[in-house]
Structure 1
């Protein structure tokens, strides 16, 4: 029988129980973790992707009322309500079993157990865990999509949406091109939601934030003992998305060596965890995004031409906000409503909306959203005033070139100057992660 890819956590103060349960369940499930104290539950859950927990109900000698088990059941549910918990006890009071099930336990096992019944209970709980995860992912996706407004009056953006509606139901690789802040992540989610994989995981991976040292471990996973800190087997981000969609963002920032690894992954749809020889087959749809000019990069020998043609079965360029000014009012009203609700400020009036049409918006929709959020936070007397001239990436900062890389370098330099080298403030203003900003600073020699 092939082992099920699941992680089982067993919590009991009896080492014999831990040993026997682990030996039996290890025959059927890929990873079985044992701990001898409930105080280790939270750290273990933080470090591992646990699917099912087997939890003893009594840990202190002389106490056999099961209250400890019920307490830790509640603690686990507060951390992650989607992890099935099977409670174990040597004392089979019916009332205790009923109370545990009412409080959310998946099942109840009496010690000593029948091995076949133990396996059946855990196996069923693994199936429940997977369904819970898929449901949670779907709910998260639905919630995130309601945060954005995809209605558009812009002819250029309408063409983009028509193309997305055609390609979303397929499994074609899609390359999204566009400046920072144009909405590549939002449209990648839209593609997934409107695909046949919409009930499966959607995993966003920011390649620009991954160092070369962590690249393989984060994306492909590793086996226990593969390196010093590899204390347990761990699936990578791509494997966790199996059956669904992987959105590889900032693919233009990869080094030639990492480009080869991604190319092999896309071509073979197989991966091998670090420290293993076993190939794992993947059923995944890929979406890619970049703000770089990939054709220019491969002409300069900085991006593999074969990778370029592999990732862009369909290439979609998202227009910058300055080229879709027809959507400014609609987007602004959407963000005003969103942040009025978030900060409990009602009936705010826009004082200087006409200035938006004359503004370049180098940070695109992300800049508009952040500017409106900031203005609502600082609003007084029911007035919203967008202080665009104070934005560190304002068009007034001498952005004379329309070359994207030159504009990006200038905006980063301006932000660093504005915030006197404070990386946290500069990255927040630019709408980047700290890691992404560091990579760009290294790229431009800043």
Structure 2
């Protein structure tokens, strides 16, 4: 399973607890940090971007009433009011943990914990954190969250935005089509924020990053005992979006047996967990996205025709970046401002010559590639002058100088993605890999 990009902080004075929690959560999240002294929490939070905190309730020897946890929770909330905090507690402290929930904790975990419950709780906290950050990010900067893509000079993109404004107020299913990196996630979230469900969960499910044996359990949840290691009931990602919006990304990756189940869910708005006959009513809005040619997949019997017509009540084709070159200066400056703040290089600017370099490149990886290009360039530039490290320059500056397998693998993957203009399915087929295997390698090389 592809790791979710998130930074988790675990605070506990027991080294064994820190080790076991970190090892487990590191399987699912890109970064997990540990602190054994709560006095270091505020300094750490001031220096790092954290998505969720796992906090023990007892730190002082001889004091086991859980008040330490409540104290530090309030200290954290003073600094980061919207940061989700999950308390770790013993059985005897459940009543106090419930009190903590009333005071703002997002959840509590009983020690010794169940691994699935721990993951589910942290994963939900990260989703909540992301939504909070999206709403508040750059509030003191002139360029607002995602404004770089929503304000456009491109007539084709303006047409898409007009359609989004019309459809957002409804509960119609929306299918977003476009190459990787064109901003389908940003637009799906924008639709949610314009809808009447904006104060409810927005749950993003990347079907391309889930291994096939985890698809059903992750999406629909499961009942305790449904399979080996199902030690307790688990609500899936779709159920966790109740009253909100589910964004099913890479819908073309859905296996055929789950296409049938998803079709039934969309039609009937009812869900049954694995191993359970009970049907749960759902009130959810669905948005779908893919870079696949679904019409071709239907003709080849890889995708159900009835599901295709069910998910594309409104179908929006997102233009490639090379087809909206008039937006490249705005996008480039947005990313520059973003990373100037992050890396404390506030004097760097994009002059006319640099803008011309950006405009003249074809950007097969679209907005995501531009984002990475600006970040790399800013990191490697000095504090006074920005030097663009363009993708073609990077390839020319890094020829195959030896037979190192990893070096060759990264170059081949870049070439395949460029050749197929970011189409994951075609690139994977050309490389002789499965889509999931290509996703893992792209994560490895940060592509």
For the aligned pair, the TM-score class normalised by the smaller chain equals 0.5 to 0.7
Task: State the 1:277 CA deviation.
Answer: 1.5
Q: Structure 1 CA distance, aligned partners of 2:212 and 2:258?
A: 8
Deviation at 1:375, TM superposition (A): 0.3
> Within the alignment, does 1:291 sit opposite 2:272 as a pair?
no
Query: Residue 138 and residue 367 in structure 1: after superposition, are their counterparts in 2 closer, same or farther (change >3 A)?
Result: closer
Distance 1:374 1:258, change over 3 A: same
Quick one: structure 1 residues 414 and 74, their matched pair in 2 at CA, closer, same or farther if it must change by over 3 Å? farther
Equivalent position of 2:145 in the other structure: 146
Aligned-partner Cα distance in 2 for 1:162–1:291: 22
Q: Deviations over 1:97-152 (max 9, x none)?
A: 9xx99x96848xxxxxxxxxxxxxxxxxxxxxxxx999867523414671552210
What root-mean-square deviation, in Å, do the aligned CA atoms of Structure 1 and Structure 2 show?
A: 4.5
Describe how 1:92-107 pairs up with structure 2 within 5 A.
Answer: 106=102
The superposition leaves residues 44-96 of structure 1 with CA deviations (integer Å, 9 ceiling, x where unpaired) of 9989xxxxxxx999999xx5xx5642224346676975569999999xxxxxx
State the alpha-carbon separation in 2 of the partners of residues 305 and 267 from structure 1.
14
- Give the deviation of 1:383 after TM superposition: 2.1
On the 8 A contact 1:141/1:189 being kept in 2, the answer is: no
CA deviation after TM superposition for structure 1 residue 403, in Å: 8.4
Aligned mates of 1:139, 1:403 — CA distance in 2: 33
Q: State how far apart, in whole Å, the 1-side matches of 2:425 and 2:89 are.
A: 57
Query: Secondary structure of 2:364's partner?
Result: coil
Q: Which residue of 2 aligns with 1:359?
A: 361
Q: Distance in 1 between matches of 2:236 and 2:425?
A: 35
Q: Deviations over 1:389-428 (max 9, x none)?
A: 145689x96999878859942897599xxxxx99866446
- 2:217 & 2:233 partners in 1: Cα distance? 11
Deviation at 1:303, TM superposition (A): 1.1
Query: 1:136-187 CA deviation, whole Å, 9 max, x = no partner?
Result: 6752341467155221000000000000000001000000000000000000
Aligned to 2:313: 313
Which is further off, 181-190 or 224-233?
224-233
Q: 293-302 or 281-290: which moved more?
A: 293-302
Over alpha carbons, which structure has the higher Rg? 1
Aligned partner of residue 182 in structure 2, secondary structure: coil
Partner SS for 1:273: coil
Report matched runs for 1:11-410 at 5 Å: 68-74=65-71, 106=102, 139-143=132-136, 146-149=145-148, 150-350=150-350, 352-380=354-382, 381-391=384-394, 408-409=426-427
Shift of 1:288: 0.2
**In the alignment, is the contact (CA less than 8 A) between 2:177 and 2:290 conserved in 1?**
yes
Say if 1:84 and 1:398 are closer, same or farther in 2 by CA, change over 3 A.
closer
State how many pairs are aligned. 346
Gaps of at least 5 residues in structure 2 are 1-13, 26-55, 78-82, 104-124, 138-143, 396-410
Aligned-partner Cα distance in 2 for 1:239–1:300: 31
Query: Aligned in 2, Cα 1:255/1:356: closer, same or farther, shift over 3 Å?
Result: same
What TM-score does the superposition give when structure 1 sets the normalisation length?
0.66
Uncovered stretches (5+) of structure 1, i.e. residues with no partner = 1-36, 48-54, 91-96, 108-131, 416-420, 432-446
1:315 Cα deviation from its structure 2 partner: 0.3
2:416 and 2:446 map into 1 onto residues whose CA distance is 17
SS, match of residue 165 in structure 1:
helix
Q: Distance in 1 between matches of 2:65 and 2:132?
A: 32
Q: TM-score, normalised by structure 2?
A: 0.65
Q: State the secondary structure of the residue aligned to 1:234.
A: coil
1:316 and 1:366 mapped to 2: Cα distance?
19
SS of structure 1 residue aligned to 2:248:
strand
C-alpha deviation, 1:327, in angstroms: 0.2
Q: Secondary structure at the residue paired with 1:222?
A: coil
Aligned-residue offset at 1:336: 0.5
With 343-352 and 318-327 compared, the bigger mean Cα shift is at 343-352
Q: C-alpha distance in 1, partners of 2:444/2:359?
A: 24
8 Å Cα contact 1:201-1:245 kept in structure 2: yes
Q: Is the 8 A contact 1:349 1:384 kept in 2?
A: no
Distance (Å, rounded) in 2 between the aligned partners of 1:403 and 1:57:
53
Q: Is the contact made by 1:181 and 1:364 (CA closer than 8 Å) also made in structure 2?
A: yes
